[in-house]
């Protein structure tokens, strides 16, 4: 069994723990504390997102076709 017994090993372990803790952020979308990535929302706002939320935001959103929008506009004006 390997027991950390020297002062240097304890200091190194402490530095590693602090580095890991300081790398954690609060995800803007799901509100979980985890390692996050920067994401620019609406070309102006910088938020932090976890990997799952980041990949979800990066997926292309299904857009409406222009013909469908025109048909809806014509139906509402009648």
Radius of gyration, CA atoms only, the chain: 24
Residue-level pLDDT at 74: 43
Tokens of 23: 């790398």
User: Quick check: is 7 in a domain?
Assistant: no
Whether 33 maps to a domain, the answer reads yes
Instruction: Output the pLDDT for position 70.
Output: 43
Distance CA 10, CA 50 (A): 30
- Taking alpha carbons only, the member of 31, 61, 63, 67 closest to residue 47 is 31
- Does a structural domain hold residue 44? yes
Domain membership of residue 48 (yes or no) is yes
Q: How far apart are CA 77 and CA 57, in angstroms?
A: 34
Q: Is residue 65 part of a domain?
A: no
Query: So what's the pLDDT on residue 68?
Result: 42
Any domain includes 47: yes
Q: What is the pLDDT of residue 5?
A: 75
The per-residue pLDDT string of the chain (78 residues; one tens digit each, 9 = 90 and over) reads 556 578 889 999 999 999 888 888 899 999 999 888 888 888 888 888 999 998 888 887 676 444 444 444 444 444
Number of domains, the chain:
1
Is 18 part of any domain? no
Q: Give a yes or no: residue 74 inside a domain.
A: no
Reduce the DSSP state of residue 36 to 3 states and report it: strand
């Amino acid at each position: 069994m390997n027991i950390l017994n020297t002062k240097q090993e304890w200091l190194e372990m402490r530095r590693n723990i602090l580095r890991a803790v300081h790398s954690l952020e609060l995800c803007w979308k799901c509100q979980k504390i985890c390692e996050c990535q920067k994401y620019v929302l609406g070309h102006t706002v910088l938020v932090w997102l976890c990997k799952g939320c980041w990949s979800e935001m990066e997926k292309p959103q299904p857009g409406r076709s222009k013909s469908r929008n025109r048909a809806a506009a014509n139906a509402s004006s009648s």
